[in-house]
Amino acid sequence: MNKKGWLAGCGFVLCSLAHAQSSSLTLWGQVDSGLTYISNKKGGSTIGTASGIGSPTRWGLQGKEDLGQHYTALFALESGFNINTGTLIKPNTLFDRQAYVGIDSPYGALTLGRQSDLMDDVAIRYSNAFWNRNLYAFHAGNLDSLTNGYQIENAVKYKSPNMAGFRVGGMYGFAGSDATGHTAGGFATYDNGPLSAGVTYMTTKRRTLDMYTYFGFTSFLGQTLSSSKTFQSDEVNNLGIGLTYQLTEPLLVNALFTRTDIKGASASTHVDNQDVGLLYRFTPAEAVTLNYTYSRMASDHWNTIEAGNLYSLSKRTQIQVTLTYQKASGNGATAATYPNGNSSSQSQLLAHVGVTHSF
């Protein structure tokens, strides 16, 4: 090999090494399990193990590559599973939570693939369930899509850069997953000092809702339901408006309002949820929470009180002790905590002790 060829070869190797050093791949995850007592679940009390109550049990891969000029290629693959059984949360779907690729730039991030609903991206962080670290504190049926149990397939999502505390974004999803029609929506947030606030709106055509499992309804908006027949909507629209405010160094307050409009072929209804909560941090390792949620659909009402103690054994390991009590009222209404489904009475009490480890 001549001198010029040798120098060119060395230059190619050095450029390749520099290029390799500008990319990264991260394997990460969380495992969560505990014991839950439910006073009344479809007619009787139960006690047993429960996975993903304090935090979703999941693992994932994240990667990025510096493209230069402040552009970055990125991807994420995220899979949810039940640690007590080892089974996937969604059968036959390995990366059920997210699977996307995209570009981040000075003008914002654009991603394509299976992605979380904007209600889960934005509105969730103002909810009682988020701060209480308690899956049972999410609203009945997850109709407002606050948990990552409802993903948008074939989706394009955009998130702007930070503009003096403001961010905006939107997404469009083609038909797939739990909807045979398209999904579209947008959000705006403001984060500055002790205040965080946001508004989110999503609309989905032809979304299916399991009103039988989560509420015990055998008919809904003119459709007959069963364990094998879900409700087929014409359209489901979600609005979320929320905020958090750090009143003092140890005390944080949160508030959230969500409205879900459900349209059937010949009738429609809506569900309103209102959260308000407090988190008080005794030490950097320990916090207590107290929350109240009011939910209403037509003449049915649900009042829910949640309390918890969150203690971090380390940066990666946390123990949660939570209590959730729900009282329903209305013509035939029963308690219906998520994701347990309906009680045979108007009340449900849940006690949970769990541990979450992150890696």
What is the distance between the alpha carbons of residues 266 and 128, in angstroms, rounded to a whole number?
34
> How many helices and strands in the chain, by DSSP H and E?
4, 23
What is the distance between the alpha carbons of residues 320 and 32, in angstroms, rounded to a whole number?
10
pLDDT tens string 292-317 = 999 999 999 999 999 999 999 999 99
Task: State the chain's maximal CA–CA distance in angstroms.
Answer: 90
Q: Would you kindly state where each structural domain of the chain is located, as residue ranges?
A: 26-358
Q: Which residues of the chain have pLDDT under 70?
A: 1-21, 177
Residue 175: its pLDDT value, please? 79
What is the distance between the alpha carbons of residues 325 and 39, in angstroms, rounded to a whole number?
10
Residue 26: its pLDDT value, please? 97
Reduce the DSSP state of residue 338 to 3 states and report it: coil
Residue 42: its pLDDT value, please? 81
> Other CB atoms closer than 10 Å to residue 359's CB: what's the count?
9
Residue 292 Cα to chain centre, angstroms? 19
pTM: 0.90
Q: What is the 3-state secondary structure (H, E, C) of 143-205?
A: CCCCCCCCEEEEEEEEECCCECCEEEEEEEECCECCECCCEEEEEEEEEECCEEEEEEEEEEE
Residue 12: its pLDDT value, please? 40
Residue 328: its pLDDT value, please? 96
Strands 219-220 and 223-224: antiparallel
Q: In terms of CATH, what superfamily is 26-358? A: Porin (2.40.160.10)
The count of C-alpha atoms lying within 13 angstroms of the C-alpha of 257, restricted to the half-sphere facing its C-beta, is: 2
Residue 332: its pLDDT value, please? 86
DSSP letters of 92-148? T-TT-SEEEEEEEETTEEEEEEEEE-HHHHTGGGGSHHHHHT-GGGSPGGGTT--ST
> Other CB atoms closer than 10 Å to residue 267's CB: what's the count?
11
Sole residue written with tokens 């990366």: 95
Contact criterion met (CB below 8 Å) for 114 and 171? no
Q: Which of 202, 263, 269, 258 is nearest to 232 (CA)?
A: 263
Residue 106: its pLDDT value, please? 97
